[in-house]
Structure 1
């Protein structure tokens, strides 16, 4: 028995050594560059990704290793000055690959107290001697081409295979075209690659061509963000990576033999925001009664978050619960999801007559037994009781509830837009405060907007009745909800709002 155990552990040790040896013998694809190659820690913070985060999904990682050493904010100069290139150089072995892309930050100031990362333009041997204000060190600054050439030559000295890329294009458009950098950093990168006889990929031009095929409207907000013309979303990063892969396929570079024939791109999972409420939020399939939840996604970064509108016309807190609609939503909730809750319009209905949708007024624990038409008994609770249930059960699932007061009706008591300050607004806020949920007084905010617009203008938003708005009215409600979420200081949903 003892001999069997010894042989077993020897076998495990041999397998481990073989596995480690195979890992070490595999070539590694190293990436060096700026934030367009790896943004932040490469975890998609803020929804920003570099192409280096996705290029590995196009390659056979059973045969090559992937290491993305790019760092946001660096230029060809500061990547080396900070010792980041030395880290890669010390790891390089014969047969490894180095993908190189710099340029976005090389255009900065050569010497200042903020970043001091600029390089001399061009590929010449001219230098500038400085006392670096930022680092407090004496430094000799070289040209962009000099720094790129240094990386190439040192990589080659270790037997590695450099591949130079021009910087990805910025999301700037002129007359339907994306400006190229083929007279500056793109050109200089190409000239150095040709001088050193290494593979050059004109990522700037080839990606710009693909962007132009898709068009500015589709690119902005999907592949790049409206707030940022330099950094890509996950889809933009994949687009850049796919361009590099396609160019490698038609090159003579040996890295192309590791490209997968049938790659599968896995995007990061999106966060979800659920909407529950009545017809003022729901999709009612009626142009004269458009719920603001239909338009809400317009103001969200839908590359990172999915808006799921579960609001249903004619429902109160009571009927949304009684009909099982709440359970359907609750069963879909995952930790980190958001849920917007807005009720009140139908809760004021009769408790035991007609539509059987009214809830008891207030936030108390009182109940009323109702006999339904089929003879079954229903215990009806207060408006606040149902809200509290939704909030608590959402939080139990790890979701983040945000309570909104109901939208105002087109009613003008005393020449003021309708408010429910002492009833549903107050009860909603009291429950939200009690349960530690976020609260937005949409009723009050919208009432103020209506008063600023005036009765006649507001009337155009309500073609059907005094409760439901058309698309323009829904858009105003949705925008106001988004603006209000953006102001919630500690709520992460604000980071997904794009106004």
Structure 2
């Protein structure tokens, strides 16, 4: 009896699986082909860059249609075919499938060189040029942009598939308040080919340019595009392009419109969380004369991909940050892949057994001291290293990545040199990081070196309150050093989230100049 039931269950599962497989095989597939503005890199958002082909599935009913992104960065209409990228798509096509097609960004390159050799002849005519390809070493007949588009369209139609042609997305280049169109070049030629081949055309270039102009140039950067790249979109830019394509589809008689969702739920890539823990030199203290570098850090990071969660608190040492359960609150919310940037030391040198009861035992040993506070409560006090090790190892428990900083220098000089903490908390921070296999950044020395290049007179403008706390300009300058250090360490995995060195230098120079001008 048991064997019979088991056999029936196996048969039932087999038929269910067969039914599901049959259902999937009957689903039409939407293939996207194009360049890096359709699929950037591996389609994983490296450097924050995405193509619209990575998000168009979220606008379609994927219970009824499949989406496969076969675009490849760096290709033109010519090299997409030449490299054999079109053939596997063509071989997979079945009647009722769709091919979303967008080329043009790379077709304007040289027809023959030893670098990329990807250009096509301008226009949609039958002109051709015979070359001995300097890159491939092969004899080749090069055709017009329109010829290659037509080839893909005709071959797709021969398999019963339904092509949709897009004009290339606009580049983030402005002329006054206008985004230049390509409606007299590749956008026009894409439209003409679509009309000639009797397939759907979507003027993505024009529609997206209009949306960009509505937002205005200032709201584009760090939103739809980055300053570092005028061609490739952020995730939000890619989503905008995908939304335009699907909305424009709904205005056509193309059957793909039947699969467009009315109210799609768009999921953007998960942001990287960067937690900051430390004292007032990191924290938001609410006064302009004492601004921690953590307040200004956002200027130097790609905040479309990063959440900066500043949990630093003024007046805290590693001991009081632990005892007041400020660390516990961070620990409770940590997730795998988060970063924890920690900087303590300024207040750890305070009294251990007197109010404010924030001093920790010097060093990184396991030494302890029992202290009786005014309220008669006894506390076991540990070393600076013990508290730091606790933060490091508990962060690791949650799968987070701890990064230990030595504390920023005070505005204290000996001649032309800033006084270091390399024999005390700077040294102990380094030792405890190494002992617990955590990344260490010598912020104390790095900022000191930067200060010394500028000179004590100018640096003094950063410290209007005392020798420890900077104003906003000083905080911005210090934050620039933080990100330079983060960018320099390839192993940390944060360098792609940091602005270009040119932009960092520009912003830090603004901070320095502003502080000097304000003093005048």
Name the TM tier (shorter chain). Answer: over 0.9
Alignment of 1:423-434 (within 5 A): 423-434=424-435
Q: 2:261: which partner in 1?
A: 260
Match of 1:401 in 2: 402
Q: Structure 1 residues 474 and 159, CA, compared in 2 at 3 Å: closer, same or farther?
A: same
Residues 36 and 74, structure 2, Cα contact 8 Å, conserved in 1: yes
Query: How many angstroms apart in 1 are the aligned matches of 2:468 and 2:14?
Result: 73
Instruction: Classify 1:369/1:7 alpha carbon distance in 2 versus 1 (closer, same or farther; 3 Å).
Output: closer
> Structure 1 stretch 441-450 or stretch 467-476: which is displaced more?
441-450
CA distance in 2, matches of 1:202, 1:365: 68
C-alpha contact (below 8 Å) 2:354/2:373 kept by paired residues: no
Deviates more, 1:109-118 or 1:13-22: 13-22
- In structure 2, the partner of 1:421 is 422
Task: Note the residue ranges of structure 1 that are not aligned, 5 or more in a row.
Answer: none
Residues 28-427 of structure 1 mapped to structure 2, 5 A cutoff:
28-414=29-415, 416-427=417-428
Q: Provide, for residues 94-127 of structure 1, a one-character-per-residue CA deviation record: whole Å limited to 9, x for no partner.
A: 2211100011111122222222211111111111
8 Å contact kept, 1:316–1:344: yes
2:26 — aligned with what? 25
Residue of structure 2 in register with 1:467 after alignment: 468
The answer to whether the 8 Å contact 1:338/1:493 transfers is: no
Q: Tell me, yes or no, if the aligned pair for 2:124 and 2:145 is still in contact at 8 Å.
A: yes
Question: How many angstroms does 1:149 deviate by?
Answer: 0.6
Q: How much does 1:203 deviate? A: 0.6
Look up the SS of the partner of 1:174 in the other structure.
Answer: coil
CA distance in 2, matches of 1:318, 1:206: 57
For 1:384 and 1:4, the matched residues in 2 are separated by 63
Please give the alpha-carbon distance, in whole angstroms, between the structure 2 residues aligned to 1:484 and 1:420.
18
Provide the secondary structure at the position in 2 that maps to 1:228. coil
**Which whole-Å deviations, capped at 9, do the CAs of 1:229-249 have from their partners, x for residues lacking one?**
111111111011011111112
Q: Deviations over 1:347-398 (max 9, x none)?
A: 1110011200011112222221101222221111111222122222222322
Quote the Cα distance in structure 1 between the aligned partners of 2:371 and 2:10.
71
Change (3 A) 1:42 1:449: closer
* Cα deviation digits, residues 182-241 of structure 1 (max 9, x gap): 111111101101111211111111111111112222211222222221111111110110
Structure 2 contact 416–455 (Cα < 8 Å) conserved: no
Please report how far the alpha carbon of residue 419 of structure 1 lies from its aligned counterpart in structure 2 after TM superposition: 2.3
Distance 1:11 1:482 in 2: 58
Cα distance in 2, alignment partners of residues 273 and 228 from structure 1: 24
Distance in 2 of aligned mates of 1:315 and 1:51? 46
CA contact (8 A) 2:292 2:475 kept: yes
CA distance in 1, matches of 2:7, 2:490: 61
Alignment check: 8 A CA contact 2:426 2:444 kept: yes
Q: 1:6, 1:401 → 2: CA distance? A: 53
TM-score, normalising length from structure 1?
A: 0.96
- Residues of 2 paired with 1:240 and 1:200: CA distance? 15
TM-score, length-normalised on structure 2?
A: 0.93
CA distance in 1, matches of 2:22, 2:422: 72
SS at match of 2:357: coil
Q: Distance in 2 between matches of 1:72 and 1:450?
A: 43
The SS at the match of 2:230 is: strand
> Structure 1: how far apart are the matches of 2:9 and 2:423?
76
- 1:87, distance to aligned residue in structure 2 (A): 1.1
Q: Secondary structure of 1:43's match?
A: coil
1:428 CA drift (Å): 1.3
Instruction: State the SS of the aligned residue for 2:291.
Output: coil
Looking at structure 1, the residues matched to 373 and 175 of structure 2 have their Cα atoms a distance apart, in angstroms, of 65
Q: CA deviation at 1:320?
A: 0.7
Question: Any gaps of 5 or more consecutive residues in structure 2?
Answer: 505-520
In the aligned structure 2, how far is the partner of 1:175 from the partner of 1:44? Answer: 30
Distance in structure 2 (CA, Å) of the matches to 1:9 and 1:359: 66
Shift of 1:3: 4.8
What are the Cα deviations for residues 58-80 of structure 1, in whole angstroms up to 9, with x where unaligned?
11111111111111111111111
Aligned residues: 499
Residue aligned with 1:401, SS: strand
CA distance in structure 1 between the aligned counterparts of 2:487 and 2:22, rounded to whole angstroms: 52
